[in-house]
Amino acid sequence: MKIATVLGARPQFIKAAPVSRVLRKQYTEVLIHTGQHYDPNMSAIFFEELNIPTPDYYLGVGSGSHGKQTGEMLMKIEEIVMQEKPDYVLVYGDTNSTLAGALVASKLHIPVIHVEAGLRSFNKQMPEEINRIMTDHVSELLFCPTETAVENLRKENITRNVWNVGDVMYDAILYNKELAQRQSTILADLSLAEQSYYLITIHRAENTDDPDKLKAILAAFRDIDGTKVWPIHPRTRHKLEEYGLDASAIPGLRLIDPVGYLDMLRLESGAKKIITDSGGVQKEAYFLRVPCVTVREQTEWVETLKGGANILTGTDREKIVAAVHKEVAPVYADVFGDGHAAEKIVAAIGQR
Ligand code: UD1
Ligand code: UDP
């Protein structure tokens, strides 16, 4: 059996690593990298660190408006899929690369496998929400990370070939956690002591593309005492420049380039709290038992809110500061599977 995987953005490399490893024991995988993310520290570093096989095709689509980026992907993926004739096309998550892969395959009558199906924020202003809904509705096999995701699909009348297999990012973290602890030297490199700093990531378009929101977020960071380490996403760096905002002037704020996965896990596990708008980072905070503050109005990962492990603040300056300074004693639950999502996905594909 031949499976064509389409990916292109940082979190998809991390999700693909455990799945590819298991998939390739039984099946042929053709890897198609759209080139949505292309800076070495947004792409190549993950292939090297996580031993992800070199893509068979690199489409070099790069950045652009939604239409331009997705359109170029559609044309290029279609050509490859028509030539390769895979039995399935596999996509991850909710990026423009996900949507492009799913649309091409469904129109060529090739069944789509969606990993991380059923997530909803119920906010259609988010490009990711459109990508998820569209992808789920053209997918043939839907692998959900949580029961909530299964329930979300049921409410949209998607009940056939839906599995709760757990979260592939949990597989990834279990596989790499100890390695990160042993190999990463990032805390020493940055002269950071354990539990002495907050870790920040901000990249959601809803936050970065509105100068008022980005200003409010920076104002909150100014009000938070102590060291704050921020590996900054290129979108956010560009937007700060565009709006003439100087984050480096904020006391205690240490802006660094995006880091590899192992360094990121080390930074996360050593932080006293994580402040983020990333989906993946919210979950990793939960897996690593580090309290999280999410600078968004909604989250798809509602399980992290129960037990007080994650607090939603939106972009309100005072709410962010209060949530970061709040003493919490979270209660955690095992709601993201058992770390064997990849095996379950591959087994389910085989039983078809
Ligand atoms: C994309 C996904 C988002 C995901 C995020 C993960 C969509 C619609 N969004 O957002 O769901 O959470 O990836 O990180 O698919 N850029 C660079 N170098 C790169 C990549 C991007 O400089 O290697 C800059 C460019 O200015 C680009 C901007 O970042 O315009 C945004 O990149 P893009 O891939 O369009 O969206 P992300 O914000 O990365
Ligand atoms: N990540 C990383 N280096 C960084 C920032 C994030 O390796 O500098 C990892 C993070 O650990 C997580 C994933 O990237 O596994 C999350 O991706 P991102 O925040 O870009 O996207 P999202 O999950 O919001 O779609």
- pLDDT computed for residue 227 by the predictor: 98
Q: Which of 98, 129, 177, 201 to mutate to test the pocket of ligand 2 (most atoms within 8 A of CB)?
A: 201
Residue tagged active-site, from 137, 203, 233, 325: 203
Closest by CA to 6, choosing from 83, 67, 73, 51, is 73
What's the number of CA atoms in the CB half-sphere (13 Å) around residue 230? 26
Dmax over Cα atoms in the chain, in whole Å? 57
- pLDDT computed for residue 133 by the predictor: 98
- Which run of H or of E encompasses 4? strand 2-7
Ligand 2 pocket residue status of 291, Cβ below 6 Å: no
Ligand 1 pocket residue status of 237, Cβ below 6 Å: no
- Quote ipTM for the complex: 0.99
- pLDDT computed for residue 123 by the predictor: 97
- pLDDT computed for residue 47 by the predictor: 98
Sequence-distant (≥ 6) Cβ neighbours of residue 61 within 8 angstroms: 8, 34, 35, 36, 69, 72, 73, 76
Domains, the chain: 1-166+336-348 (3.40.50.2000), 173-323 (3.40.50.2000)
- pLDDT computed for residue 312 by the predictor: 98
Distance (Å) from CA 11 to ligand 2 centroid: 5
A 10 A CB-CB count for 184 gives: 21
Distance (Å) from CA 321 to ligand 2 centroid: 23
Distance (Å) from CA 21 to ligand 2 centroid: 20
Closest by CA to 43, choosing from 68, 27, 61, 24, is 61
For residues 104 and 74, is the Cβ–Cβ distance under 8 A?
Answer: yes
Q: Which of 69, 95, 96, 232 to mutate to test the pocket of ligand 1 (most atoms within 8 A of CB)?
A: 95
What's the predicted TM-score (pTM) here? 0.98
* pLDDT tens, residue order, the chain (352 aa): 999 999 999 999 999 999 999 999 999 999 999 999 999 999 999 999 999 999 999 999 999 999 999 999 999 999 999 999 999 999 999 999 999 999 999 999 999 999 999 999 999 999 999 999 999 999 999 999 999 999 999 999 999 999 999 999 999 999 999 999 999 999 999 999 999 999 999 999 999 999 999 999 999 999 999 999 999 999 999 999 999 999 999 999 999 999 999 999 999 999 999 999 999 999 999 999 999 999 999 999 999 999 999 999 999 999 999 999 999 999 999 999 999 999 999 999 999 8
For residues 70 and 40, is the Cβ–Cβ distance under 8 A?
Answer: no
